[in-house]
Amino acid sequence: MKIDGHTHSHFCPHGSGEHVEKLIERAIELGFDEYHITEHPPLPESFLKDLVPLEAVPTITFHENETDDYIKEMLYVKNKYKDKITIKVGFEIDFLPDHTQWTKQFLNDYGKYCDTGLVSVHFLKGISGWRCVDYDAKDTAEGLVSYYGNPEKFQLSYYDMVIESINADLGINKPTRIGHMTLCNKFKTFIGIETSTVIDEKVDGILKLIKNKQYSLDYNTAGLFKPYCGETYPLNNIVQKAIKMGIPFMYGSDAHGVEDVGRGYDVFQSSMKHV
């Protein structure tokens, strides 16, 4: 089964704007059997007011009042293409530690329409408020890394948030696949991120937790194509450890446009074979 388990649509304001049907047609062309549309859900207003920099805010996701349209449109394409490809629909849920009740309610309301999903950490507390980990290299360096003190402490804070996201009670519809668990490496060479024993131990702890909870991991290839990253999330040595522990992976291109669909699938395949 060839699956792309993590993609976005024209509902995403930071994507290419290309219609989801164009991405689906590309997936069919590439021989995918299954295609998961996992859009960023809206964010609570009470969180958005604490988010900086202000220019990032409108690029993050669609407004709450568009959620019904997203679901309707994705269920329509799911049916339209059902003879050519299996489409699953859901969300890449943002973990927001101060808004778990809101997220739980969202999942209670929309979970019944979803048959896939992920939980991802995109935000950390930083200078002047909450900030995106993956918005802009300079912004991450100045607003987050300097807030935590150094690249290692920044990474540890990211991983602590991942741990919190795995342990969080988001109700029965909580997705059990963790999105890009090493997203803190997106601007790796810009920030000067290096691994260390402390980081390795933290990551091992996350893997144990995922194993105990019977969760799975997103094998996200987007980082391979980012100029300051050049590696998958998580990177191969973590992937190999996880496979040995029996943690399941699902490939995800994290496509935000047609040309991203299926990217790095060959890397995923050879990574899965290495064990």
| Region of 44-52, 87-95, 147-155, 258-266 interacting with Zn ion (CB under 5 A) | 87-95
Q: Which is nearer to Zn ion, 175 or 212 (CB)?
A: 175
Q: Which is nearer to Zn ion, 38 or 155 (CB)?
A: 38
Helix ranges restricted to H, 111-230? 137-140, 146-148, 151-167, 188-191, 197-213
Tokens representing 137 are 């290299």
For the bound state, the minimum distance from the C-beta of residue 197 to Zn ion, rounded and expressed in Å, comes to: 28
Number of residues this chain uses to bind Zn ion (CB under 5 A): 3
> DSSP assignment, residue 234?
S
For the bound state, the minimum distance from the C-beta of residue 236 to Zn ion, rounded and expressed in Å, comes to: 20
Q: Which is nearer to Zn ion, 51 or 84 (CB)?
A: 51
For 72-133, give the DSSP string. HHHHHHHHHTTTT-EEEEEEEEEP-GGGHHHHHHHHHHHGGG-SEEEEE--EEEETTEEEES
Tokens representing 2 are 């060839």
Quick note: the x/- pattern for Zn ion over 8-37, rule CB under 5 A, is ------------------------------
The residue within the footprint of Zn ion, chosen from 73, 94, 218, 254 (CB under 5 A), is: 254
Q: Give the length of the chain.
A: 275
| Cβ 198 vs Cβ 150: under 8 Å | no
Contact set for Zn ion, span 103-132 (CB under 5 A): 120
Question: Residue 23's beta-bridge partner residues?
Answer: none
The residue within the footprint of Zn ion, chosen from 92, 139, 218, 260 (CB under 5 A), is: 92
Closest by Cα among 49, 20, 3 to 258: 20
| Region of 47-55, 62-70, 86-94, 231-239 interacting with Zn ion (CB under 5 A) | 86-94
Q: Which is nearer to Zn ion, 18 or 254 (CB)?
A: 254
165 binds Zn ion (CB under 5 A): no
Q: Which is nearer to Zn ion, 47 or 84 (CB)?
A: 47
| Cβ 154 vs Cβ 142: under 8 Å | no
Residues that bind Zn ion (CB under 5 A): 92, 120, 254
